[in-house]
Amino acid sequence: MTTIDEHLLRELAPQVLGAVVRRYGDFGAAEDAVQEALTAAAFQWPRSGVPENPRAWLVQVAARKLTDQIRSESARRRRETKIVLEASPEENVVPPPDESPVEQDDALVLLFMCCHPALTRPSAIALTLRAVGGLTTTEIASAFLVPESTMAQRISRAKQSIKSSAVGFVLPPPDERNESIGAVLHVLYLIFNEGYATSSGKTLQRVDLSSEAIRLARAAHELLPENGEVAGLLALMILTDARRPARSGPNGELIPLDEQDRSLWDQQAIAEGVQLVSDALARGAVGSYLLQAAIAALHDEAARAEDTDWPQIVALYGVLMRLSDNPMVALNRAVAVAMAHGLDQGLALLEPLDRDPRIKDHYRLAAVRAHLLERSGKITSALRYYEAAAEKTASLPERNYLLLKIARLRAN
């Protein structure tokens, strides 16, 4: 399976799952069938080539597998037997080449389905990351800073809740969408983050994930155009993704924000993101995603790293911390304070995080401390924390960057 085909399968997986769930209604069985179809594609496509309509191919294979399962369990599963008897396999499993807009929105419907208010919020978010984002249980556990076994149980419970509650595969009516939107936005945020800065593996980013998160955020914004947090999250994604062309070198190596060639940033995307932030702020409601987008806009509007308005960023992080008990926010604020008010003040703000179980063992805490110590001229201490960060990260590009920092500091 080529890299292109792997990305294609990741991109198509939620669309195919949505189509099969919409037709058959059984989330758990549909997910199993789609996984079998993806496995079949992984073996067959390298030999036979990618089909002209890969989405239709996957839907057809998944639906046939599900139909076979329905037939074999007809005595116990009367509703599925009825579906099989009422439609031929050709009518029931193959989507037309010219797919309707409703079918194209299956991933968005699946997103709302997984984030249904009937589910607990942690379970809903975990399930959606698995079904819509295509993240592994390990990746989701890393995003939530919890053990993998805990996350596996959470996802299993969510699937059972979906089955027991018989949640329908439809977009919630307009007056109910705001009930689910908080969980929906959190999921999209995590999917985007995993795509923009992959937590493990050989690649720095997974554009398929970040692009799908942006696409779904745009669709959510169309559904709820007056919701400031939806606009804020979309703006945050666009403003962050605008820097992607400068984030890596010719060999995929990581280039940190302050060293990036800002002429490579997507100015059209930056203008769009800034406009979304401005429009949302004008409506008056300020939430955590909109604040993060405003911070991203300040970074993107600085022509040079030294032109960054750090005092304004510190002020925004102060407001954000009053809205969100998130250790990553506190970590980012420490960096901003260091840049605006002095390295010692920033380092002092890291000390409480050493006692926070959610982040104390995270590689980013060690990496940030190393960076601030290096800028302070405390090279021996910086080396120790760079080494600790390199040991903790599961991302090969991150590790390579940290090891290169270590080598350069030792050489000097």
Instruction: Output the pLDDT for position 169.
Output: 65
CA 214 to chain centre: 9
Residues 224, 234: contact at Cβ < 8 Å? Answer: no
Residue 213 pLDDT more than 90? no
Q: Quote the CA–CA distance of 92 and 231 in Å, as a whole number.
A: 38
* pLDDT digit string, tens, across residues 242-269: 999 999 998 888 999 999 999 999 999 9
Torsion sign across C-alpha atoms 305, 309, 313, 316:
negative
Question: What are the angstrom distances between the C-alpha of 225 and each of 58, 272, 404?
Answer: 33, 15, 45
Angle at 131 between CA 129 and CA 132, to 5 degrees: 70
Per cent of the chain over pLDDT 70 is: 88
Q: What is the average pLDDT score of the chain?
A: 84
* pLDDT digit string, tens, across residues 68-107: 777 766 545 455 445 544 544 444 444 433 343 334 467 7
Instruction: Output the pLDDT for position 94.
Output: 41
* pLDDT digit string, tens, across residues 320-375: 999 988 999 999 999 999 999 999 999 999 999 999 999 999 999 999 999 999 99
Bridge pairing between strands 394-395 and 200-201: parallel
Most confident of 20-24, 199-203, 220-224, 238-242: 238-242
* pLDDT digit string, tens, across residues 304-322: 999 999 999 999 999 999 9
Ranges of each domain in the chain? 1-100, 339-412
- Domain 339-412 belongs to what architecture? Alpha Horseshoe (1.25)
Q: Residue 375, exposed/middle/buried by CB under 10 A (0-12, 13-18, 19+)?
A: middle
Residue 390 pLDDT more than 90? yes
